[in-house]
Amino acid sequence: MNLRALIVSDRPDYRQLLAHHVTLEWRDALPAEYEPATRGRLPAGFTGVAYDVVLLDHEVQGGRGLDWIADFRSRPAFPPIVYFATGSDPAVLERARGAGAIAVLPRTEFEHADLCGTLRRALAQRHNVLADTSRAALSQVSPDRFGSVHIRGYRCVRRLAVGGSSSVYLACDTRTDEQRVLKIFRQVPDVVEGSTTFDRFLREYELVAHLRHPNIARIYDIGVADDHVYLSMEYFPGGDLRARMREKLDPATALGYVRQMAGALGALHEVGVLHRDVKPGNLLMRQDDSVAFIDFGLARQLRLESDITGAGAIFGTPHYMSPEQGHGTPLDERSDLYSLGVVLYEMLTGDKPYVAETPLAVIYLHANAPIPRLPAQLSPLQSLLDGLLAKKPQDRPPSATAIVARIDELLQSAAA
């Protein structure tokens, strides 16, 4: 189980220290950071729903950490708070606990094992609270109730998953009696004054909803219910590509999947949409063994912009991110193509191209390490991989369409 942590401190070096402790234990974690000294108080609508725990430095705003605890605990369903106190004054420690911190640790002399044990306790508490809330909501008799949200026209069958930004349900469309997946975003959009996230979210998903491509999941409905955005999408009982990849795929099968993915990305790119989160978990399998993209990276965009993340932040899964995405620089279609190359390498070898101790180290390798070599029996595919995993966008194929054409050549050559 991964950990989603928010670190609040005015000191960049202290935020990095806490992030280091987190990533030593949860290697795929990518802690978010917030600096009150330059950004002030968190917006009133920020509820921390995207996080499992908040690590709060006593020294924020000149030693006003206790005031921040009180502010956080006044927000509904706020995550557990781990407080890092200066000194060992029993009065300060008692006030921090009384204000609602799940644990109080010394700011500079805590043990790594103590911090990790505290974070595991916070993680368990957070998941128990979310599970209890969901069970209580699901016990309601109203068939159109999904957690705390009523959505007319759909009947709840069961909950499929709960994430940091959304809950996912299997539902029945009462108009057609067909099964659908409802994805309900937990954070109400536009909590930050002047935010245009919700407008962009609807505009981009409406573009995708009008696409009719066999390798893009169908979106049937986009709407707002009880102030929550929801999507009604195609249901995939076959699971995701990650499950299919538990066994190493033969080259023809891997190329066939990549061809489908490239075709879908080409359709998205034509309407101006970047996926931004190409990875096996975002590719679902149909019964005919075809794959279809879901998500399009927008769930992450909605969650983070509704919370606190500013310009230049790093989004996504580090193992699949392009060098430019990992460093927070502007992206174009070729960033998606790089991620496609990572998926291709993993399908062919069973391994990720770059693995390291921390997410930041993985990001560094994507930008600086040599492109990995395929085994000798797969050498005919090396040139395709070299193009996809080129460090500079201008050295990659110019479009997804070019990748489809290249794969067709490789498949024809193999069949000859």
Residue-averaged pLDDT of the chain: 83
Q: What angle do CA 347, 316, 311 make, to 5 degrees?
A: 155
Cα 233 to Cα 161: distance, rounded to the nearest angstrom = 15
Ranges 38-52, 186-200, 243-257: which has the least confidence: 186-200
Sign of torsion over alpha carbons 402, 405, 409, 414: positive
Q: Are 346 and 280 contained in the same domain?
A: yes
For residue 52, indicate whether it is catalytic.
no
Q: Are 333 and 265 in contact (CB under 8 A)?
A: yes
Which stretch of DSSP H or E encloses residue 156?
strand 154-162
Note the pLDDT tens digit of each residue in 253-295.
999 999 999 999 999 888 888 888 899 988 998 888 899 988 7
Catalytic residue among 190, 277, 295, 336: 277
Cα 339 to Cα 336: distance, rounded to the nearest angstrom = 5
**Residue bearing tokens 């990992």:** 326
CATH number for the domain including 75?
3.40.50.2300
* 314 confidence band (pLDDT: 50, 70, 90): very low
Q: Are 224 and 368 contained in the same domain?
A: no
Q: Of the candidates 310, 413, 314, which has an alpha carbon nearest to the alpha carbon of residue 363?
A: 314
Note the pLDDT tens digit of each residue in 105-154.
998 888 999 999 999 998 888 876 655 555 554 455 578 888 778 899 99
Cα 179 to Cα 160: distance, rounded to the nearest angstrom = 13
Q: Provide the terminal-to-terminal Cα distance of the chain, rounded to the nearest Å.
A: 47
Q: Are 298 and 164 contained in the same domain?
A: no
Token code pair at residue 60: 């924020």
CATH number for the domain including 409?
1.10.510.10
Q: Are 182 and 122 contained in the same domain?
A: no
Cα 26 to Cα 1: distance, rounded to the nearest angstrom = 8
Given 233, 263, 296, which residue is the final one in a domain? 233
Q: Are 149 and 131 contained in the same domain?
A: no
Residue 187 DSSP symbol: S
Q: Are 60 and 41 in contact (CB under 8 A)?
A: no
Single pTM value for the model: 0.62
**Residue bearing tokens 């699901």:** 138
Q: Are 108 and 147 contained in the same domain?
A: no
Number of domains into which the chain is organized: 3
Long-range contacts of range 353-359, CB-CB < 8 Å, 24 or more positions apart? Answer: 353/389, 354/319, 355/319, 357/23, 357/24, 357/27, 358/20, 358/23, 358/24, 358/27, 359/23, 359/27, 359/28, 359/29, 359/30, 359/318
Token code pair at residue 142: 């109203």
Q: What are residue 397's phi and psi, to 5 degrees?
A: -55, 145
In DSSP notation, 23-59 reads: HHHSTT---EEE-HHHH-SPPTT---TT-SEEEEETT
In DSSP notation, 87-151 reads: S--HHHHHHHHHHT-SEEEETTT--HHHHHHHHHHHHHHHHHHHHHHHHHHHTSS-TTEETTEE-
Q: Are 245 and 356 contained in the same domain?
A: yes
Q: Are 228 and 285 contained in the same domain?
A: no
Spacing of C-alpha 6 from chain mean position: 15
What residues make up the domain containing 97?
A: 5-135
Cα 72 to Cα 159: distance, rounded to the nearest angstrom = 29
- For range 363-370, the mean pLDDT: 95
Given 135, 157, 192, which residue is the final one in a domain? 135
> In the 3-class helix/strand/coil scheme, how is 263-314 assigned residue by residue?
HHHHHHHHCCCCCCCCCHHHEEECCCCCEEECCCCHHHHHHHHHCCCCCCCC
Token code pair at residue 213: 């491509």
Q: Are 248 and 386 contained in the same domain?
A: yes
Q: Are 391 and 270 contained in the same domain?
A: yes
CATH number for the domain including 191?
3.30.200.20
pLDDT at 87 > cutoff 80 = no
Given 233, 263, 290, which residue is the final one in a domain? 233
Q: Are 185 and 165 in contact (CB under 8 A)?
A: yes
Q: What angle do CA 197, 200, 317 make, to 5 degrees?
A: 75
Q: Are 25 and 62 contained in the same domain?
A: yes
Cα 143 to Cα 181: distance, rounded to the nearest angstrom = 15
Q: Are 144 and 125 contained in the same domain?
A: no
- For range 188-201, the mean pLDDT: 48
More confident residue, 164 or 366: 366
* 1 confidence band (pLDDT: 50, 70, 90): low
Q: Of the candidates 305, 304, 303, 281, which has an alpha carbon nearest to the alpha carbon of residue 293?
A: 281
Residue type, 377: Q
Outline where DSSP puts E strands in 186-254: 219-225, 228-233
